[in-house]
Amino acid sequence: MTDNLNFIKCPACGTLMKKVFLENQNILIDICLDGCGGIWLDNRELAKVDEKDEDITPLNEALNGKTFINVDTTAERICPICNKPMVKNHVSAKQDICIDECYHCGGKFFDRNELELMRNQYDSDEQRLADVKELAKHSEKLEQIFQELLKKEAL
Ligand SMILES: [Zn+2]
Ligand SMILES: [Zn+2]
């Protein structure tokens, strides 16, 4: 699935989201600039913006100096594309960051600052790996996947 080109309503506050083009990644992302400051990422976009060295200057420039409304981050969100309930998922053990994810289309919603928190939480790949391991503890299935990866790396 490629970029969703329609304007969507923010799943947290219902405001029409604005599109910002990230040149380096060649993707359009949706930001709730006139509402809560949340960020919508289509399927697979997250991998392009989740690390500190991935340049998201246009996104930061758009958010810079704006004030945003507060929203209840624990409320259930409905996917603006599929109209289905989204699922809350931890994306980090260290920072306790919990995002909303749509299992139908793969879309993800980050409340204000959550993406930035996620990007800045690791100083090194070792820390990232340790955190992945920590998260894996929460689920046997993830633990299995992790062990498989370790085995592959050892070969
Ligand atoms: Zn919003
Ligand atoms: Zn969806």
Q: What is the mean pLDDT of residues 25-41?
A: 96
For ion ligand 1, residues whose CB falls within 5 Å: 10, 12-13, 15, 32, 35-36, 38
Same domain, 112 and 58: yes
Shared domain check, 42 and 53:
yes
How does residue 5 score in pLDDT terms, banded at 50, 70 and 90?
confident
Same domain, 73 and 148: no
Please report which ligand is nearest the Cα atom of 100. 2
- 133 alpha-carbon distance from chain centroid: 19
Same domain, yes or no: 10 and 72: yes
H helices then E strands: how many in the chain?
Answer: 5, 6
Q: Calculate mean pLDDT across residues 134-140.
A: 72
Q: Same domain, yes or no, for 88 and 138? A: no
Distances (CA, A) of 48 to 1, 10, 29, 134, 150: 15, 21, 11, 23, 24
Give the mean model confidence (pLDDT) for residues 95-118.
92
* 71 and 129 within one domain: no
Into how many domains does the chain fold? 2
Do 139 and 81 share a structural domain?
no
SS3 (DSSP) at 10: coil
**Same domain, yes or no: 82 and 131:** no
Q: What pLDDT does 1 receive?
A: 45
Q: Specify the pairing of strand 108-110 against strand 39-41.
A: antiparallel
Q: Range of 137's domain?
A: 124-155
Find the 37 Cα to ligand 1 centroid distance in Å. 6
Claim to verify: residue 54 and residue 77 sit in the same structural domain: yes
